Every structure is written in structure tokens, then in C-alpha cells.
A and B are shown apart, each in its own frame.
Chain A
């Protein structure tokens, strides 16, 4: 979609807003931000101190319990505890501290410049790819690595290729090994491999970053898969401790992947083309892109903490540096602005958002219009056509893709 409302024949979700409306919306959001900054203080500091304390106690306690994990109850309790501890570390603590949400406390130990998290990717690499690229170029196809992590088709306007058929499987695999997936795209491994094929050597900076990431992965793996199980051998609990660590890392991977999918992937969340972003995007325009490109998860307090308050993805994307415990408080005000300016505040319970995100991944793995125009009756003929599109030459494929698109549009029209 395009974000410039005065572009010719524009029909997007902000077509009804004038440039002045957008700037006014920006000013109103700035006021909400200022209100939080003016009241930031002891209560917020106490919150993050408490979360850190709970996380460390939980991690230490769970690892201690796992020393006796040969007994099934200890295995279950320890594994659940360690999974939650890792999720808290990554989400409510690590992600948010690295965003600079707690820098204002001037605590040299809880600061974006020094924090390291329990994850394969280095905080340094993460801050670059996530804070700088993803949060600045949110949902801009080709610029935002988070959007499909560079391996998926996330927008109808992206060209469909037979390889797109594999993206649900790729996404599932990425979910299982998500911490390594993050490390890989922090390093832009895909780009580097493509360049290598062309005979270009990766830069010296990249080699340093890659070395640091490998060292981090080694340290993380040594702790979880060697040191902890070895200590557990005292009670012959080594193998079960290894299994518990594997499980906890897996659970953390699946959970973080799901939460992040909910943030930008559900159906109805906008993606943007670089060509449509104005050269000098104003603060108001940037705000609107964040508002339309994010989706929230509704749920309990516990869910919000476990998602690192990314359940307030909209608020987080508008104000990435405000303390996460404040997102829930400002959410009603932000939502009121969405209503005032006639924008769609995208929120739903987690199962719904996860399903919606997976639906989009599946839908876009197929040619545009394919899913919409397929019924039980015409399924066989549609499949034959799809196989032809995969096997056929470029011209055949182009013709078939057009047919799918037309059929899809027609069936949607009929439904209405």
C-alpha cells in the first residue's frame, strides 16, 4: 500500500486523512509519550527490578530442581520453570532493556549498552537488525528483515515463485530453531551467501560479527547442554537435564516465534513498499505506518508479561523506548486515537492471531487468488493447474497466475 494520502487514486486505509490530520495525530501521540516520560519513576523502576529478581530466582531454582530431574516431578517442574525463565529473560527483560526502555534509570547494570540476553544472537547484532532496521523500516518489504525474515512472501505484491510453496514448512522450521534463525538474520546470512556465490568476500565487520555470534552460540550451548547436565550427573540426572534444557529452549523458540508472528503477520495488518514511503517521512507519517503495521494480542496480565508486553505491539511500535509496564496503561488512549482518526486497531486473543498469521503464511505460499477460488469441488482441477504453474515455463506460469488472481477476485465478489 502507499502511505502518501495525496497519491493519485489512493484507496488505502488512510485515504480519508489529510496531511494535516496525520501531523495532528502525531502531535497527540507525542503528548501521550510526554505524559509517560513525565511520570516515569520509582514505581516503574521497582517493576523492572522485581521482574529481573523473579526471573533470576526462577532460573536458579529451576536449574537446581533439575539437578534431581531423574525424578519425573522434578523434571516437569524444572523444565516448566526454566522455560518460563528463558521466556522472561528474552521478552519482558532482554528485548525491552535492549530497546533502551530502562536507560533513564542510569543504572549501569540495567542498560541497553551493556545488557546481554539468553539467546543465540548477540545483543549487539540484535540491536542493529531489530531496533534500527525493523523498528525504523517497519513492514517495508525488502528493508525490514523481520518481515518474513527475508525468506518468506508476505505481501500479494511480491512475486510468487514455486519456492513460495515451501514457506509454511520453512516457517515451521524457523519456529523450532528460532534463536538460531534470529542469529542468522541478524548476520544477514542469506545476503552474505548470495554475495559469496557472486564471488564477493564478506566485509571485515561481518566476519567479526560472525565470530562473536559463534562464540555466543558456543557459550550458550556449553551452559545448557554440557555444564548443567554434567553437574546433574551427581544424581545421574545428566540426560534428563539435557532433555530439560533442550525442551526449555524449544518452548522459548516456539513461544517467541508465535508472539512475533502475532505482531506483524495477522491478516489485515498492512505491509508497505519502499517506493511508496515518502523521501522525508514526517513523524506523523512514521507513526501511522507503525499504527497500521502492528497488531495486538488481548489477554491476561500474565500473558502480557510473558509476551514482554509485545501483546501491546501497537503501543510498542509507536513508542519503542517507553517502559513496557506502561503500554497497558496508555493502550486505551492510543485506541481512542485510532477511533478518532478512523483507523483499525487490530487486536484479538492469541490463538486467533496465531491462526491468522499462519493463514497468511499459507495463503501467500500459494498464488494470489488460489485459496479464495478453490472449493472442494474444483480442488483437483486447481491442483493440476498449480502443478502446471510450477512446472511450466515463465509464460505459462504468468498466464496461470493471472487466471488464479481473476478467479479469486471473482469468487470474493460472489461471496459479497
Chain B
């Protein structure tokens, strides 16, 4: 699933193994690295090493696509061999993936649909959403061998470390099934002989989808149900209508005794959350898709320590300077790139051709979207990574 979450920390710089080395070896390798830096200047040694092995220890975290398997008409599972510094994950967590679509780097978060695997691969399952250029690219155009950019796994949509004494309820809608399937596959490994049930757990999964063919992983869920590992309740909203809370309590009589997880679109999660809050019960949720960035004419500019109003017809550079912010600047006509600053969130309009540039939280790289402030006007609430004084 594509989920909206806080920007996670950047990948670890050193291999986990580094710390275990004896001190003299660490010192020596630092020295050797220093010499390599002097020889590689003005580039970094990493720029050359990446040509040979982009997945080596110490490289920026990347992954190589190993396999793309269609799940439904518009969803596919992508198996990725992560770089050596991949620190592992807990089922239910997500990974942020950076991929070049039509030449432009985009970032999205996807749930990992497996527990830690013996072959060291990670997998995500992506549903091509209408107008979703990244998801469509991943499902339809991505081929094995392609390098993608990764961040370490993150997110707290995970099972408790001690499962004893808990009964679980998992409500999934559409591709919201993906983090849950990651948890279930980890709990109940499947072999050719069927489900290997190694833990006696009481798990009820309520799965919502427009129809059965639209359901990713429906066969996995059904076979887990048949093997007695979980109790699966499906609700196909195309024929059976929407699910309300009353029906849910009917379908799952011991609802209140169960530790509840839900993943799906915002509307469903909001309704569930309201009910659980009213009942005073905890609910663990994973948001389905991002908060949209509202675009319009003009807006505000938030610098570190100051927010200023910015009209839609005035360059950000001018608006900020008039408000007393010390801005980098150059030609003031869009050609020198001396005024470029990173926008972490928000939308700006190019005053020359009206083109919008949007930075959505969760979808932009860790360094934000660089904008030319001298020819861009605010088109929403913009957060710019630049000190106000």
C-alpha cells in the first residue's frame, strides 16, 4: 500500500559490521578512505565504487529489482535485493522507495509484504492507482535488474513482540491488506505442503474490496482460512455494499476483546477510529494515502522560525525579502539558479509558464524539492528549509 507517514531517518552511513571491527582496522580503513577521497576529488570515491557495486556496504541505500509478479490486473509484487546496509524490518513496517519515473525521482512508501526472508530479499506489493504515475510505473514498466533507491524500513504498525494472551482483529481495505499480509506470512509460513502452523493464534481478518478479483492476496487469505490459521471475513462492497460498524460488530462478536489493527483509505480509518475512541479502546492504524497538498493562488511561506504571507503573483524571493528574510539570490530572472532552496512541503507556481511544482510530505526525497525562488510564487502552504534570520 501507499501510505502517508513521517519522513524517516536517512539510511545508516556505515555497515552494521563496521562497529565490530578492531579499532586499528577501523583507523586504517578511515585512513585508506581519506586517501581515496584525495584521489577521487572533486567527486567522492563512492561515485566510482557505485559504478561497480551500487549495493555495497557503505553505499547510499539502494536495491536491485529481482522479480516483478502480477497479483491482479493492476497490482504486482516486486521483489528487491536490498543493499548490504539494509538493517532488516519487522512485518507490518513500510519502506520508502525512490524511483525515476520519466526521468524524475519520486518517493513513495510501500508496506513490506513479507517477514524477513531467508534469501534476504524484500518485497512490496503495489496497486496501480488511477493517475498514479509512480504506482503505474512500478506495476507496468519496472523490469528486473533496475536499481531503485531505498530508505530503512520504518513505521510502528507492527505486532507486539509477545503475542501470548492476545486475540487479534485486522481490518483491511483494498491494498491496505499489504502490511497485514506481511505480518500473516511471518506468523504462518507457507510451504508446498500448505500452511505450516507453528503458533496457535486467534486472528480474525476482515477484508474489504470492491470484488474478489480486485483483491490482492485473496488466495493467500483464503488458504490461511482453510488451514484454520485465521478466520477470514470478506466483504465485497461492489455487491454487498459498504460496511458499517454495526455489521462489523455482528461479523466479529468479540470485537472488543481483540487487539485491533486497521489499514485502508482515510474514510474507513476515520470511522473506525471514532468508534474505538468512543469505546475507549486502542486501535492501531496505517494511513492509506497521503494528505493532499491544497494548491491555490498565493499562500504562506514557512521558514525555520518564521511564516510569511505570499501573494500568488509575487516571486517567493521578493515576498520573503520584504518580510525581512535573508535570501540567496542572483539574476532574479530564472536563469542563474543562485536562489534555489529546498521546499519540504507545499506547492509553487512558475510565474513564467504557470507550471505547478508540488512537494507532498512522504513523496519527496529526504532533501525536499529544490525550487527557484525568483520565478516561483506560492501556490499553497509552503515549508522551505531555510533559516528566517
Interface residues of A (CB under 8 A from B): 30, 34, 37, 40-46, 53, 56-57, 60, 98-100, 103-109, 111-113, 116-118, 127-128, 131-132, 135-136, 216, 219-220, 222-223, 227-228, 231, 286, 320-321
Contact = CB atoms under 8 A, between A and B. Distances in A.
Contacts of A216: 42
A222 B38 contact: yes
Contact of B331 (A46, A106, A131): A131
B359 to A, nearest CB: 10
A182 to B, nearest CB: 14
A91 to B, nearest CB: 15
A214 to B, nearest CB: 14
Interface stretch (B99-107, B165-173, B205-213, B283-291): B99-107
Contacts of B190: none
A245 to B, nearest CB: 12
Describe A's contact surface by its main secondary structure. helix
B203 interface: no
Contacts of A136: 330-331, 333, 335-336
Given A45-B103, A111-B370, A131 B336 contact: yes
A100 B337 CA distance: 6
Contacts of A30: 352-353
A127 B336 contact: yes
A42 B330 contact: no
A42 B141 CA distance: 12
Contact of B103 (A44, A113, A118, A128): A44
B144 interface: no
A112 B340 contact: yes
A136 B335 CA distance: 8
Given A40-B103, A56-B48, A113-B370, A135 B42 contact: no
Given A104-B104, A113-B340, A132 B365 contact: no
A231 B41 CA distance: 16
22 contacts: A41-B104, A44-B103, A98-B337, A99-B337, A100-B372, A104-B103, A105-B103, A106-B104, A107-B100, A113-B370, A132-B330, A132-B338, A136-B331, A219-B42, A220-B41, A220-B42, A222-B41, A223-B38, A223-B40, A227-B39, A228-B39, A286-B333
Given A60-B48, A113-B370, A132 B336 contact: yes
Interface string B298-322: 0000000000000000000000000
B334 interface: yes
Given A105-B104, A108-B367, A219 B38 contact: yes
Given A100-B337, A106-B105, A131-B338, 11 more contacts: A30-B352, A98-B337, A104-B104, A105-B104, A112-B337, A131-B330, A136-B330, A136-B333, A216-B42, A222-B38, A227-B39
Given A135-B331, A219-B41, A223-B38, A321 B337 contact: yes
Contacts of A321: 334-335, 337
A107 B105 contact: yes
B224 interface: no
A321 B352 CA distance: 13
B19 interface: no
Describe B's contact surface by its main secondary structure. loop
Q: Which of A34, A132, A220, A227 has the most CB of B within 10 A?
A: A132
Interface string B342-356: 000000000011010
Contact of A56 (B42, B51, B340): B51
Nearest to A112: B337
A104 B371 CA distance: 10
A112 B342 CA distance: 12
Contacts of B369: 106
Contacts of B355: 37
A69 to B, nearest CB: 16
A106 B106 CA distance: 8
B331 A53 contact: no
B337 A103 contact: yes
A321 B355 CA distance: 16
B338 A127 contact: yes
Contacts of B48: 56, 60
A43 B100 CA distance: 12
Contact of A41 (B102, B330, B331, B367): B102
B297 interface: no
B47 interface: yes
Contact of A131 (B41, B335, B365): B335
A115 to B, nearest CB: 9
A135 B38 CA distance: 33
Contacts of A131: 330-331, 335-338
A219 B35 CA distance: 12
Contacts of B365: 106, 108
Closest 4 CB pairs of A and B: A45-B103, A100-B337, A131-B336, A132-B330
A24 to B, nearest CB: 17
Given A44-B103, A45-B100, A100 B340 contact: yes
A57 B51 contact: yes
A306 to B, nearest CB: 20
